Structure 1
Amino acid sequence: MALYGAVSSLRDITRLLEISMTVLSEPLVAPKYGKWTQLVLGLICMASISSPQYVWTLLTRPLTEKLGVGLAELQVTFSLLIILQTFFSPFQGRLVEKFGPRLLISIGTILAGFSWVLSAHINGLTALWLVYGGMGGLGTGIVYIGVVGLMVKWFPQQRGFAAGAVAAGYGMGAILTTFPISLSLGSYGLEQTMTVYGIIFALVGFLASQGLKLPPTAAPQPASQNVAQSAKQFTSREMLRQPLFWLMFAMMAMMSTSGLMVTSQMAVFADDFGISKAVVFGMAALPLALTIDRFTNGLTRPLFGFISDRYGREKTMFIAFALEGVAMTLWLACSDDPMLFVLLSGVVFFGWGEIFSLFPSTLTDTFGSKHAAANYGWLYISQGIGSIFGGPLAALLYQHTQGWHVVFSCAIALDFITAGLALLVLKPWRARFISKHS
């Protein structure tokens, strides 16, 4: 019964998928797209799937009121979104490599967009888990893994920048939608807002994905001269046997926990801190902070990726991860000041978002580019682990302690521990590993 209101939309999705498969079976009209065009198209695809994660915090209050559930139960939806986005990513990466980026990424954008359309018409928590978390997570996972895996193949000399640029589309795409969705929720309500924007997301992503393709294999480009890269092309099975991979996995999981705690809970602790009703620079503080966050979260990805291409992955990790730890410490200390809350939130996201350029480029440098999409799919599971600790478990810890100080303290500790691991453990270990396989 919870899905009753969404049944009619399934027919529309079926018809759209039939049309999509017909279109995708035809040859691309303009096949000579270069790598920079591929980068732009990939960025647009990523932007089209960003709102389900990064605008989620605006939906938590309306959804808890509509469904009559608690925050911890509702946050399971967010965790499912990330878990399905990440835990199936190795399989999704294999599919992208087997059937090509155009087909799989097209399907992913449609699934992600219409997860909003269906979620607008449901009236039960379980249905929300299945549609928003399950369907949306699978769709966004296909697009994310497919686009990042494609870019590290097109840009062997600029992997950090390329991975960061398309990841910026995922981090910054919600800039265009945060204020409109916030205003639409107040003016038109939850159902109409999610329906309209879901259709827009699906359409934009589907159209952009039609130009994606693999790079030519006849003339491979030389690897970067600034960053050490392994000569061996590891399969996923071979990579999973390397302890070095599991160090990277643990580090990304710790950083994901810290960042996703903020992403999923920000509207709640902003309300507790008395910020949600404040006005900064003539604008509502929370939507302004979220918009600034989307910008800095996107900017940091190509910027730190660019820096890492020239000065080394691990040094860049240390600086960025320590920056987030410092910023979160100051953020908590200044939580009662609306202006500082808004400004420091941008710095926090600036110190977190670069994990989506530094880790995929480091992984590809270490284990090769031939199986880049599938290999990164395995590493990307760490994001799902982070969503569990940063989402419902952080909410439960907040409810148990009746405050945010313990939650923030755990996140800050993870930031500094990961920064130390990057410089003291990952750097020398990876140097020995690449020297052995060069």
Structure 2
Amino acid sequence: MHSFKRYGIAIAGVVFHLMIGGVYAWSVFTKPIAQQTGWQEASVSFAFSLAIFFLGMSAAFMGRLVEKFGPATVGTISSIFYGSGIALTGVAIQVHQLWLLYLAYGVIGGLGLGSGYVTPVSTIVRWFPDKRGLATGLAIMGFGFAALLTGPLALRLIMTIGLANAFYVLGLFYFVVMIITAQFIRKPHPHELPAVIANNASRVSLTNQSMTANEAVRTRWFACLWFMFFINITTGIGLVSAASPMAQSMTSMTAAAAAVMVGIIGLFNGFGRLAWATLSDYIGRPLTYSLIFILDIIMLVILIFFKQPFIFAVALCLLMSCYGAGFSVIPAYLSDVFSTKELGAIHGYVLTAWAAAGMVGPVLLSWTHQILHNYYVTLIAFIIIDLIAMIISIRIQKGFVTNQSVESVR
């Protein structure tokens, strides 16, 4: 019965993330909005960057609310913010007000994203202390795959009922589904976990204590994890933002083939979240993160030296799996290091790295390409920062081994 309950809560978390993950389908709306309003596509695209920024910055505060008031309450807040933000985006389009687009989608929608992103993750980790990687991989995979659901649905709505009305319908749909699923997401009581799982949950963390969020952020462990997460996202989101033009510029890939490739790398982004997170349950989070950075470096080198379209596409796909892995492995990693005492708040704090990387990665790539007319300098920069992150990851990995040796002696 308890096993069924925790899987039911995990499914609710996946559905919840499928709704807010629709933000990744913003590119579907960019051109139609620009055509209908006369705004520049770059101005429309900025609404997405703004939403990601407010996601990362609000997650820290919202993570604390999850610990204080529970995931169902914060999930309800998220459904109100995100649903109303999407609906108000339709109003902004209808009245041709760019500032309202930024307020609606970027700020209000971004606040809904931040509160919604942290709602199920830390809770599901508590329900699956024996399979933390798998559980968070499932939940966050929903966020990665959402664009595959929202993209075709959005296009269909635009064609049948119009652009502004599409946002009204989506806003209502998101609100209803999110507010219902949020009520099923709650923390487990001690008696609801089987004894063997409860014992697993109480194992000593890397820091040998159960830390509060304020205590955790003052440690070097948190600084290292924040930096590694930042580097992983900076590399990944930078490549996502320029995958198609980069492939066409650096290889002989056609625009049509590049468009197909973008869809395929989206699948690797989603599946990578589940695959890497599940792998981390068997080999450990520190080794998993080290392998992610090693694979990143190898694939970035391949992008620089191999010009065959197929090899280039395979390298990008593997890089996107690593990008998705960063999101799904980090919650379980945080629980390994600091325990689950205030995991929601700690996870929220580390998501500020997403806000920073969302600005740095795409801007760095587009700026250097605009000045130098190639992507090589940025790719080399990505290799260097990935090397630094890999060294930090290996040092943390050694810290885990040392801690486990001490515990075995005790």
Same fold per superposition (TM over 0.5): yes
Task: Describe the superposition over 1:316-372 as per-residue Cα deviations: whole angstroms up to 9, x where unpaired.
Answer: 1122222233334434656773x5565544322112111122221111111110111
Worse-matched range after superposition: 152-161 or 389-398: 389-398
Give the equivalent residue in structure 2 for 1:206: 179
Give the aligned residue type for 1:136.
G
- When residues 343 and 32 of structure 1 are mapped into structure 2, their CA distance, relative to the original with a 3 A threshold, is closer
Alpha-carbon separation, structure 2, partners of 1:384 and 1:103: 24
- When residues 124 and 112 of structure 1 are mapped into structure 2, their CA distance, relative to the original with a 3 A threshold, is same
Which one of 28, 37, 48 corresponds to residue 8 of structure 2?
A: 37
- When residues 335 and 383 of structure 1 are mapped into structure 2, their CA distance, relative to the original with a 3 A threshold, is farther
Whether 2:269 is the aligned partner of 1:292: answer no
Give the equivalent residue in structure 2 for 1:330: 302
Aligned-partner SS, 2:105: helix
- By how many angstroms is 1:432 displaced? 5.2
Task: Describe the superposition over 1:109-168 as per-residue Cα deviations: whole angstroms up to 9, x where unpaired.
Answer: 342234233223323433222221111111111111111111111111211221111111
Q: Note if contact 2:31-2:41 (Cα within 8 Å) is conserved in structure 1.
A: no
Aligned-partner SS, 2:228: helix
Give the equivalent residue in structure 1 for 2:120: 147
Which one of 97, 103, 110 corresponds to residue 130 of structure 1?
A: 103
Give the equivalent residue in structure 2 for 1:426: 396
Give the aligned residue type for 2:52.
I
Q: Note if contact 1:76-1:392 (Cα within 8 Å) is conserved in structure 2.
A: no
Worse-matched range after superposition: 134-143 or 196-205: 196-205
Aligned-partner SS, 1:421: helix
Give the equivalent residue in structure 1 for 2:218: 241
Q: List aligned pairs for 1:102-251, cutoff 5 A.
A: 102-122=72-92, 123-181=96-154, 190-218=163-191, 221-223=198-200, 229-251=206-228
Give the equivalent residue in structure 2 for 1:5: none
Q: Note if contact 2:302-2:312 (Cα within 8 Å) is conserved in structure 1.
A: no
Whether 2:54 is the aligned partner of 1:84: answer yes
Give the equivalent residue in structure 1 for 2:241: 264
Alpha-carbon separation, structure 1, partners of 2:77 and 2:370: 39
Whether 2:249 is the aligned partner of 1:278: answer no
Alpha-carbon separation, structure 2, partners of 1:80 and 1:50: 15
Whether 2:230 is the aligned partner of 1:253: answer yes
- By how many angstroms is 1:377 displaced? 0.9
Give the equivalent residue in structure 2 for 1:310: 282
Worse-matched range after superposition: 327-336 or 80-89: 327-336
- When residues 67 and 235 of structure 1 are mapped into structure 2, their CA distance, relative to the original with a 3 A threshold, is farther
Give the aligned residue type for 1:382.
A
Give the aligned residue type for 2:76.
S
- When residues 175 and 108 of structure 1 are mapped into structure 2, their CA distance, relative to the original with a 3 A threshold, is same
- By how many angstroms is 1:199 displaced? 3.4
Which one of 362, 368, 373 corresponds to residue 344 of structure 2?
A: 373
- By how many angstroms is 1:426 displaced? 1.8
- By how many angstroms is 1:192 displaced? 4.4
Instruction: Name the TM-score, length of structure 2 as normaliser.
Output: 0.85
Aligned-partner SS, 2:346: helix
Give the aligned residue type for 1:175.
L
Give the equivalent residue in structure 1 for 2:69: 99
Task: Describe the superposition over 1:271-317 as per-residue Cα deviations: whole angstroms up to 9, x where unpaired.
Answer: 767867415xxxxx52x434323322222222222221221212111
- When residues 227 and 296 of structure 1 are mapped into structure 2, their CA distance, relative to the original with a 3 A threshold, is farther
Alpha-carbon separation, structure 2, partners of 1:299 and 1:369: 25
- By how many angstroms is 1:195 displaced? 3.8
- By how many angstroms is 1:48 displaced? 0.8
Q: Note if contact 1:152-1:361 (Cα within 8 Å) is conserved in structure 2.
A: yes
- When residues 243 and 435 of structure 1 are mapped into structure 2, their CA distance, relative to the original with a 3 A threshold, is farther
Give the equivalent residue in structure 2 for 1:364: 335
Alpha-carbon separation, structure 2, partners of 1:315 and 1:100: 32
- When residues 335 and 180 of structure 1 are mapped into structure 2, their CA distance, relative to the original with a 3 A threshold, is farther
Worse-matched range after superposition: 60-69 or 373-382: 60-69
- By how many angstroms is 1:102 displaced? 1.4
Give the gaps of 5 or more residues in structure 2. none
Alpha-carbon separation, structure 1, partners of 2:348 and 2:322: 23
More helix by share: 2
- When residues 171 and 58 of structure 1 are mapped into structure 2, their CA distance, relative to the original with a 3 A threshold, is same
Worse-matched range after superposition: 123-132 or 184-193: 184-193
Give the gaps of 5 or more residues in structure 1. 1-29, 280-284
Alpha-carbon separation, structure 1, partners of 2:63 and 2:291: 30
Give the equivalent residue in structure 1 for 2:353: 382
Q: List aligned pairs for 1:349-360, cutoff 5 A.
A: 349-360=320-331
- When residues 413 and 58 of structure 1 are mapped into structure 2, their CA distance, relative to the original with a 3 A threshold, is farther
Worse-matched range after superposition: 234-243 or 116-125: 116-125
Instruction: Name the TM-score, length of structure 1 as normaliser.
Output: 0.80
Aligned length: 399
Alpha-carbon separation, structure 2, partners of 1:422 and 1:103: 35
Give the equivalent residue in structure 1 for 2:368: 397
Alpha-carbon separation, structure 2, partners of 1:404 and 1:312: 34
Give the aligned residue type for 1:419.
M
- By how many angstroms is 1:198 displaced? 3.6
